[in-house]
Structure 1
Amino acid sequence: MKITVIGPGAIGLVLAGSLDSKNQVSVLAKPEAYEKLKQKGLWIKERNKKRKINAKIITEIDDSEIVIIAVKGYDLDTAVNLLHNFKGKVIICQNGLKMLNLNLEHSNDIYAIVTSMGAISTNSGVTEFKGTGRTVLGSLNNVKKKRDEILNIFSKNYFEISHTNNIEKSIWLKAVVNSAINPIASLYNLKNGDLKKEQYWYLVRELLAESREIAISNGIDFNNEPMKLAEEIIQKTADNYCSMLQDIKKGKKTEINEINGILHLMGQKQNVKTTLNLEYLKKINALINS
């Protein structure tokens, strides 16, 4: 099957690396990065192993049957605009809530992947796989008949993927958890495992509770799942720096607006308390601009 991955970042390259053994894979890069990536190639590292990803590097959508969007939330609209003539299946994999409000009328088959796997971009075109996590796929527009076909395109080299009938809840769940882990770890320059120290863990719990209430006010039925998933992610990625802190260390833009910013706006619409989300939104943006 011909598949294009938009976004040669950490997760995008893990996805490409899980596809290249059974499919014809292309990775779409920005024109300014094309020559460097073409010269060096695309690589994935795991522990002491490093292998080249068997993928063609392109700058325009080709005749693929599936396009996977694996860009940061702030680049999502730009990536979607590349698909105005594309009629195949679309899979979106990213943080935040922005994908729930996209206009993708050009495609009948739209899916989302939600994952808690760990990966770090160590160099341009190189990703280091840091550990598996819960990975689920579901339809964003109620396409169910072809879900097994989509699941089967991925090998099990780096992660196992399962199906969910409620991808919206999975998207919200990850956003709620990320709304606590990412800004707190970033603000205090912590590895994920350090968040279990009591002086930080109570901050995580407070922010999780507020974000959970925002989700519930928007019709998402949560019990104690955010707390359980936060503990699971922190345990499995204890030695990792979260993606937001990695971006800050590299001087890159973060997804704070697409996570805590959107939660703040959605909470305001429901007249739910958003004090902590707004506080960390301001603090992270101030940190970036300092």
Structure 2
Amino acid sequence: MTWQIIGDGAIGCLWAANLLNCGQQVHLVSRKNNIPQRINYTNLQGEEQCYPCSISQCLSDTSSPLIVCVKAPQVLQALKQYRSQISEQQVIILMHNGMGCAEQVAQLLPQNPIICATTANASLLSAPFNIVQTGLGVTYFGPFNCASRNFASLLATLNQALGNCHWCEDIEKKLWLKLLINIAINPLSAIFQISNGELSKAVFQDQIKQLIKEAMQVLKRLDLKFDEQLLLSTINGVIDATSNNYSSMNRDIFYKRPTEIEYINGYLLKKAQQLNIETPLIRKLYNEIIALESH
């Protein structure tokens, strides 16, 4: 079996390198020209390894699992581009920040098994196809639709590659937790162009508390049970653990790239609007990111 990975960014290359490292066949789909048929990988111990890897601008077959590692705004377009090469039986694993893509993919490919994933593994690209792992964390996989419930067996290989991978039948709650962490960290760090650690200052802590208070109103109406204080503690744990890092949204604004705001704050705002709940600070930060994107 070949693992096909759409997206040659930090997370796509991280999975490709680690799957290759445990002896799996990998095909990486890239939009780049002049593609080298290898990935350079530096692990957490600073050890470097070069792995031969099949890389092209097309999918390799119509049966292998697809791990989609592009950013949320690019997911639907990427799958539309390769739709004619995707069979109805092919399992699609979505791994990105934010929520809302799985619903779009299910409309595009209604017969396909769709798995949602969220990861705390961290990595960066020092150059194209040169990946440096900077953090090790848990990855949760779970079924978005009924067709994907029989694919938990894929985790044996994924665990062998990166470890700490778990199948979670209630993946929605894990996705919401990641979304809430992103709502608290990403827009503030992007608007003020600060590292995550700066968010531990009192002025930002007050805003984070307000953001979560607003989000909790929506969560309660959706019957999603989160403890507010535990949630704040989790968010501050992430801030401490990634204190020297810049969020992906921070970097997107810095490099004048589109952000994932529609799938983070925007997703919660749509839910709030459907429930007639006011979330003024979440909306304010959303509007500020949209304004920064347009400059």
In the alignment, structure 1 residue 123 sits paired with structure 2 residue 122: no
1:287 CA drift (Å): 2.2
**Equivalent of residue 190 in structure 1, options 194, 214, 217:** 194
In the alignment, structure 1 residue 132 sits paired with structure 2 residue 136: yes
**Equivalent of residue 88 in structure 1, options 90, 97, 119:** 90
What's the CA shift string for 1:177-228, capped at 9, x where partnerless? Answer: 1011001111122211221122212212221222233233333222235323
CA distance in 2, matches of 1:99, 1:228: 28
Residues 53 and 213 of structure 1, relative CA distance in 2, 3 Å threshold: farther
1:136 CA drift (Å): 0.8
Q: Which residue of 1 aligns with 2:150?
A: 145
Q: Which residue of 1 aligns with 2:43?
A: 46
5+ unaligned residues in a row in structure 2: which ranges? none
CA distance in 2, matches of 1:250, 1:77: 23
Contact 1:217–1:267 (CA<8 Å) still a contact in 2? no
The equivalences for 1:72-87 within 5 A come to 72-81=71-80, 82-84=82-84, 85-86=86-87, 87=89
The equivalences for 1:107-118 within 5 A come to 107=112, 109-118=113-122
CA distance in 2, matches of 1:198, 1:277: 18
Q: Which residue of 1 aligns with 2:11?
A: 11
The equivalences for 1:1-290 within 5 A come to 1-20=1-20, 21-30=22-31, 33-35=32-34, 37-38=35-36, 41-47=38-44, 48-63=46-61, 64-81=63-80, 82-84=82-84, 85-86=86-87, 87-102=89-104, 103=106, 104-107=109-112, 109-142=113-146, 143-147=148-152, 149-156=153-160, 158-224=162-228, 225-290=230-295
The one-letter code sitting in structure 2 at the alignment partner of 1:253 is P
Where 2:158 maps in the other structure, the secondary structure is: coil
TM-score by length of 1: 0.89
Residues 255 and 223 of structure 1, relative CA distance in 2, 3 Å threshold: same
Contact 2:17–2:39 (CA<8 Å) still a contact in 1? no
What's the CA shift string for 1:122-169, capped at 9, x where partnerless? Answer: 33223332212231111111333330x211122556442112120111
Alignment coverage as a number of residue pairs: 284
Residues 219 and 157 of structure 1, relative CA distance in 2, 3 Å threshold: same
Contact 2:6–2:30 (CA<8 Å) still a contact in 1? yes
Contact 1:3–1:68 (CA<8 Å) still a contact in 2? yes
Contact 1:43–1:127 (CA<8 Å) still a contact in 2? yes
CA distance in 1, matches of 2:207, 2:137: 24
What's the CA shift string for 1:92-146, capped at 9, x where partnerless? Answer: 1011112341323231x32111112222233322333221223111111133333
Aligned-residue RMSD, C-alpha:
2.0
